[in-house]
Chain A
């Protein structure tokens, strides 16, 4: 078996096991209160932690902060938080990004 297929199958299997972990094992048993309290904050902790380095040090600019990308991220955040609209945040963020790249680039 080639290295590429070993990576595909190994990575695929382990990734599935990670995603199945709690869904498969915990099922509908109730989790303790402290666990539920922590799990409420999964989306607002994981996604910002994932995005922050990508926003401040984008690979496309060689890892240097880029005003157009920072402003676009701020606009997407503001619009999303104020309007509660995912689509609105995506479109306004992208619009500001292209405007910024065009004006500042």
Chain B
């Protein structure tokens, strides 16, 4: 739980912002809380709000906001290699809490401590989730309550990128990891105009291929 706790720094402003924007869009408290509890995905929740404000058809709203979360399939595959052996109800609970921050926290720990057993890894994950996800619910509600009293000068928007950078930077330990990140960044910038976060998915896939390719090349040279 301690390892997940720092994320209150980023979750608080992001959650507040969601509450504020949803309230401005005419959502009531039950709807705001339900959205944050059922979905737990900031970027996709904002996407849904934005599209509904543009009067997009409901099915388009749902599918587009879902596409923003497709990256979680890669997290799911990555976590399956660590937690495949735990009971299915626990894996379902892990899936419910599987967001950027909990995944990043858990995978950092699993990498640092390869001797952990699957049960211990699951326990660590739930600790990180409890230090993270409830704050998302709480601050969405607070945001809906306090509304527009938050000054723009606080640059709360940028707490999100800073936290994500802090999550992956310590993992840049080898040439393949650096290659994966560099290719992913260049591709993400080049493909940014693509809709529905396709750019992100393609860039992430290219990054993974680059990492695996460099790893393979280094092994062959040895």
- Chain A interface (Cβ < 8 Å from any Cβ of B): 3-12, 14-16, 18-24, 26-29, 31, 34-60, 69, 72-73, 76-81, 83-87, 89-90, 93-94, 97-98, 101
Contacts and interface: CB of A to CB of B under 8 A. Distances in A.
Nearest to A78: B169
Interface of B, secondary structure class, is: helix
The 6 closest A-B pairs by CB, nearest first: A80-B169, A45-B207, A41-B211, A12-B38, A89-B166, A28-B84
A48 B166 contact: no
Interface string B25-56: 00100010011001101001100100010000
Given A11-B39, A18-B76, 6 more contacts: A10-B58, A12-B39, A23-B98, A80-B168, A81-B169, A90-B9
A55 to B, nearest CB: 5
Interface residues of B, number: 95
Contacts of A50: 71, 100, 164, 188, 200, 204
Interface in B174-222: 176-178, 180-181, 183-185, 187-189, 192, 199-200, 203-212, 215-216
Contacts of A45: 180-181, 183-184, 203-208, 210-211
B171 A43 contact: yes
B158 A48 contact: no
A61 to B, nearest CB: 9
Interface of B: 6, 9-10, 27, 31, 34-35, 38-39, 41, 44-45, 48, 52, 58, 61-63, 65-66, 69-81, 83-85, 88, 91-92, 94-96, 98, 100, 103-105, 107-108, 118, 152-153, 155, 157-172, 176-178, 180-181, 183-185, 187-189, 192, 199-200, 203-212, 215-216
B44 A15 contact: yes
Nearest to B9: A90
Contacts of A101: 153, 155
